[in-house]
Amino acid sequence: MIAKDQVSHNDEEDYEKVNLECPICGTRNSLRIPCKIINESKQLTTISIPRGLVCDHHFQAFVDKNFQTRGYQKIDFELSSMEFYEQSVEQNSEDEVQDLSSIPSFEEVLNLLRTVVKDKDILGSAILTVNGKVLYSSLPENTLFSTMKEFEVRNEKELVAVRRMFLELENRMKICSNYMELNDVNFILVLVFSKKIKLGMGNLLLKDLAKKIIAKV
């Protein structure tokens, strides 16, 4: 299936500037952050900053719903792209986002996603709720918006649930997604591939990643 990635997300209203300061060298800069991700978070959003966006260091910033930075953390792993994910919250909540991010092995799952993205033909990964809310993402910006919108529309229109979805964009990038259940929580696992990868191979790589995630949990 070929999908047109026509929606422009360059409008300033889609973004908010967040002021950042490297906890290692003190370099300051501001980055445009998608409003939707911060607004949908129930508390702090962790933003992982790769080398080159602010300075020559990798680090994490914790941003609240007012787009204010509440703290920083040095990290001992390298990043290939900017990451977003919601901080874990109370275990007794009934919200599926909180349940998933609160499981003890959630950080190990994120490390698996970071590992697969080191492959130059895998451009990003994400975990979304079934209605399109971001639990974790390292997807390219426009691809992230398009993927979120796809699941939001399906949820709003109460369309038939799709266990797997494969899209080819006009630029020949491929999006493969897989419906999963862990700890009684439903979510969508997404991988984005370069134009070199065929959809069949993308599906195999996605299945392999899903098996590794299940094994971790």
Segments forming the whole domain that contains residue 127: 2-216
Model-level pTM?
A: 0.78
Percent of the chain beyond pLDDT 70?
A: 79
Angle value at C-alpha 165, between 164 and 168, nearest 5 degrees: 150
The total number of structural domains that make up the chain: 1
Report the C-alpha gap between 95 and 187 in whole angstroms.
12
pLDDT per residue as tens digits for the range 2-27: 444 443 444 556 889 999 999 999 99
Half-sphere exposure of 217 (CA within 13 A, CB side): 21
Average predicted confidence (pLDDT) for the chain: 81
pLDDT per residue as tens digits for the range 24-57: 999 999 998 888 888 888 788 999 999 999 999 9
Q: Pick from 169, 207, 198, 180: which is nearest to 4 by CA?
A: 169
Which CATH number do you get for residue 67? Answer: 3.30.450.30
Structural tokens at position 143: 């691809």
Sequence-ordered list of residues with C-beta below 8 angstroms from that of 194, at least 6 positions apart, any chain: 120, 121, 122, 123, 173, 174
CB 87 within 8 A of CB 44: yes
Q: What is the DSSP letter of 159?
A: P
